[in-house]
Amino acid sequence: QVQLVESGGGLVQAGGSLRLSCAASGRTFMSYAMGWFRQTPGNEREFVAVITWSGGSTYYADSVKGRFTISRDNAKNTVYLQMNSLRPEDTAVYYCALRPGPSIVTAKSQYYFWGQGTQVTVSS
């Protein structure tokens, strides 16, 4: 099994920044991708960003491109989501997820392991 623990959420004013962290432990894989998703009440969980662990390739949802940056620290088995220029519409519970394999994948159904989520609230 894989355990994912998110941290770093909170309340911030519009235009501000937050950095989310996701620490992974447990079973290891030769290659995998880690993604960030977010969800608001009554809505589907949506893709935000993904990074491959081996090559560091990244991909972002159009809604966050240019404002959010995903990165990883292999030594710490941790992935980060730096969120700048936050908007009220970024308010959501943010989840990290892990998918074995080297590919960039945005479909949530393809991710097998999930964290418990961390709340991000952006006030106007």
Any residues with CB less than 8 A from the CB of 65 and at least 6 apart, and which? none
**Residue indicated by tokens 């908007």:** 87
Which residue intervals of 1-124 are DSSP H helices? none
pLDDT of residue 30: 77
pLDDT tens for the chain, 124 residues: list them: 899 999 999 999 999 999 999 999 988 777 889 999 999 999 999 999 999 987 679 999 999 999 999 999 988 989 999 999 999 999 999 999 999 988 999 999 999 999 999 999 999 9
Name 98's bridge partners. 34, 113
pLDDT at 53: 82
Residue 81 has a pLDDT of: 98
pLDDT of residue 11: 98
pLDDT number for residue 75: 87
Residue 87 per-residue DSSP state: -
